[in-house]
Amino acid sequence: MKLGRLNHIGVATPSIADSILHYRDVMGATKIHAPFDLPDQGVKVCFVDTPGTDGALNGTQIELIEPLPGNASIASFFEKNPAGGQHHLCYEVPDIHAAKAEFEAMGKRVLGQPRIGAHGTLIFFVHPRDMQGVLTEIMETPKEGTHWSN
């Protein structure tokens, strides 16, 4: 396994609108992307940029995740965490299929097939019980820079 950049931290929230105000007014975020629906995954998402080491807004992002109506998979998370909270970490890899094979060879449970994620590149999740309790998203690095934007 070749560990890549920490692309984003997924944070579940009951209200992206409320969370945007939090990241803007409490945390001082200056670049918050427009929220959009990912109907295949039953969520609305919104990316908040943080600065990188050069001061530009190219650091690790926060991925705000709000369930769309009828989403059962995040419902249990909200039962335990009614106010939302940290949901997953996402690392980049150069080759998504090679990474899947490597995790599976190590006996880690990959959840489903690689699919297009919020940044438009292939992603998969690895079961938190096989990952020290952390739901882990693996994402192929976008070919043109590391940032999706809108």
Site of interaction with Co ion (CB under 5 A): 10, 63, 90, 137
Name which of 39 and 55 has its Cβ closer to Co ion: 39
Name which of 25 and 67 has its Cβ closer to Co ion: 67
Q: Are strands 61-67 and 122-126 parallel, antiparallel or unpaired?
A: unpaired
Nearest distance, CB of residue 140 and Co ion, angstroms: 13
Nearest distance, CB of residue 71 and Co ion, angstroms: 15
Backbone φ, ψ for residue 35 (5° rounding): -65, 150
> Which residues have CB under 8 Å from 126's CB, separation 6+?
103, 108, 109, 110, 111, 135, 136, 137, 138
DSSP 39: G
Name which of 20 and 62 has its Cβ closer to Co ion: 62
Nearest distance, CB of residue 4 and Co ion, angstroms: 14
Interior CA angle at 121 toward 58 and 3, to 5°?
65
Kindly name the residue from 63, 137, 140, 144 that is annotated as catalytic. Answer: 137
Name which of 63 and 140 has its Cβ closer to Co ion: 63
Would residue 137 show up in a list of annotated catalytic residues for this protein?
yes
Type and span of the H or E element at 11 = strand 6-12
Nearest distance, CB of residue 104 and Co ion, angstroms: 20
- Closest C-alpha to 32, from 17, 11, 53: 17
The residue sitting closest to Co ion, measured at its beta carbon, is: 10
Residues annotated as catalytic (active site), given as ranges: 137
